[in-house]
Structure 1
Amino acid sequence: MTTTLEAVIFDWAGTTVDFGSFAPTQIFVDAFREAYGFELSLAEARGPMGLGKWQHIEALGRDPAIDARWRAQLGKPMGVDDIDTLYKTFLPLQVERVGQHAELIPGTLETVAELRRRGLKIGSTTGYPRLVMETLMRHAAQNGYRPDCTVCADDLAAGARPGPWMALHCVLDLKIGSVAHCIKVDDTLPGIDEGRNAGMWTVALALSGSPSGLTQAEFAAAAPATLDEIRARVTPPFLAAGAHYVIDSIADLLPVVDTIAGRLAAGERP
């Protein structure tokens, strides 16, 4: 059995595309308003990011602050029928707009090209359903990004994050010899849980994804002290979830890949 890395499995929004992960979050806000006239803040919409989108809505409904406002406005807790209505409102809005947020995060093409040069395969998993990903993958391909496999939140009967199933399906699709030879890269806590539950090395992204909430322009213009404050806020939850490393964005991944490869060669496992 080889002791070398075989694959890197990336998330999508906030990891390889859509700096700040704005496509799903804003559309949750719009879907709640359109379906029920309910006001959801962008910060609240980001809370469960990384889950499948139906499960994301369900988690929002369980949030104590949102639940209290929902009950006050609608006279009952959010039920399954409400979640279905919100999801059916969310889905066409997401399909319509996801292409507007398909710009690659800086460093994606260069990092993926170098990983492939080293012989690693490129997998991907996402909280998006397949219908949304068909559009997003088309736009990403036009921008030069084509992972070797993509597993979506609604592809598997077992479910999505935080379970290991999407990441493990990548292992099957890519014919990987050991889960310990894989690195899962994600900007969300459920995505890190996914990688850990699958037995993989995990790398969290502190500044390019949903927890930071920065646009690419805001990131580029931010003072070092501002970025340090964000890192100090988002890093502890990632480490508590078991992330092996926390970096700013995919542009910083290759040195960590080198470190993990060395640890693996020395006999360490995730």
Structure 2
Amino acid sequence: MHDIRLAVLDMAGTTVADDGLVEQAFEQAAAGQGVAAGGAEHERMLAHVRATMGESKITVFRHLFGDEDRAQAANRAFETAYHDLVDDGRCRALPGAAETVAELRGAGIKVALTTGFSRVTQDRILAALGWQDLADLTLCPADAGRGRPHPDMVLTALLRTGTDAVQQVAVVGDTGYDMLTGRHAGAGVVAGVLTGAHREDRLLAGGATHLLPSIAGLPALLLARGER
């Protein structure tokens, strides 16, 4: 087993409960572009949103709407709707998430929190949870170059934390895109959690090396199995 020195953890669905917020925000963004709920076009788009959970949101909207102006408008509407949900108290940490980060950092493992959201949305979530200083580092796609499934955020976290090798990195998430990101980055551990968007088959197809019921099981995986 590898000596893990850095854990790169996804947010929504992994450390933060989604509770359908992404889909609700998408509904408003789509409506603003004239896509009515219940229609065939709406259902096609919603299926794509579900399949690409974890990917950079602006990339998703570019795929859905094609035209850059429409994609940007939809993304702005999505962010506004999501922010309203967060401000309404709809954002909550998953059980054991903050404790997991604290335990890993206490054992000498650095922690980065990553997201497919924009920086302003990520900061909104961190502030709502009081997590501004929880991790060593927080990253969004714009901080690294490209979002998932590209390895950019994982490799940026490795560089910024001074981690020596990709084999010393654990990547943890709830989607197939998270798993692909870990694989593309060469991470020593790629762990899927079952608290979010995708089930076991999608996580394994993405390249998960481990499956966990929730983020609360991560310290046992990384610490009790001799990885330190």
SS class of match (2:100): helix
Q: Is the counterpart of residue 193 in structure 1 residue 180 in structure 2? A: yes
The corresponding residue for 1:55 is 59
2:134 paired residue number? 146
Shift in Å, 1:78: 4.4
Q: Pick one of 192, 196, 204 that aligns with 2:192.
A: 204
- How many Å apart are 1:14 and its aligned residue? 0.7
Against the structure 1 CA distance between its residues 168 and 178, is the aligned structure 2 distance closer, same or farther, given a 3 Å change threshold? same
SS of aligned partner of 2:148: coil
| 1:18–1:101 CA contact under 8 A, matched in 2 | no
SS of the residue corresponding to residue 36 of structure 1 reads coil
Q: Which of the two has higher C-alpha Rg?
A: 1
Comparing 42-51 with 246-255, greater Cα deviation is found at 42-51
- Residue matched to 1:18: 17
1:246 maps onto 2:208 in alignment: no
Deviation at 1:244, TM superposition (A): 0.3
Structure 1 residue 261: deviation in Å? Answer: 4.3
Instruction: State whether structure 2 residue 105 is matched by structure 1 residue 128.
Output: no
C-alpha contact (below 8 Å) 1:111/1:251 kept by paired residues:
yes
Measure how far apart 1:52 and its partner are: 0.6
How big is the alpha-carbon RMSD for the aligned residues of Structure 1 and Structure 2? 2.3
Preserved contact between residue 49 and residue 56 of structure 1 (Cα < 8 Å): no
The one-character-per-residue Cα deviations of 1:144-200 (angstroms, maximum 9, x if unpaired) are: 8711101112223x3111110011111112111111111011011111111111111
Residue of structure 1 aligned with 2:146, choices 159, 166, 169: 159
| Pair 1:236 & 2:201 matched | yes
Q: 1:8 to 1:97 in 2, by over 3 A?
A: same
Q: How does 1:74-153 map to 2 (within 5 A)?
A: 78-99=66-87, 100-141=89-130, 146-153=134-141
Separation (CA, whole Å) in 2 of partners of 1:132 and 1:123: 16
Q: Does 1:4 align with 2:3?
A: yes
Residue type of the alignment partner of 2:11: W
What does the per-residue CA deviation read over 1:65-84, in whole Å, with 9 as the maximum and x for residues that have no partner? xxxxxxxxxxxx74333222
- What is the CA-CA distance between 1:242 and the residue it aligns to? 0.9
Aligned match of 1:34: 32
Shift of 1:37: 3.8
Hey, what's the Cα distance between the residues in 2 that align with 1:111 and 1:28? 30
1:181 to 168, 193, 197: 168
Q: Deviation string for 1:197-256 (max 9, x for gaps)? A: 1111210112x1123xxxxxxxxxxxxxxxxxxxxxx21221121110111111222222
Q: Determine what percentage of the aligned residue pairs are the same residue.
A: 26
SS at match of 1:154: helix
Tell whether the 8 Å contact from 1:50 to 1:126 is kept in structure 2 after alignment: yes
Unpaired runs of 5+ residues, structure 1, are 62-76, 212-233, 266-270
Q: Unmatched 5+ residue regions in structure 2?
A: none
Deviation of 1:120 (Å):
0.8
Q: Distance in 1 between matches of 2:46 and 2:66?
A: 19
- 1:95 and 1:131 in contact (8 A); partners too: no
Whole-Å separation in 2 of the counterparts to 1:19 and 1:78: 26
Retained in 2: the 8 A contact 1:52–1:128? yes
- Give the number of equivalent residue pairs: 219
Structure 2 residue matching 1:51: 3-state secondary structure:
coil
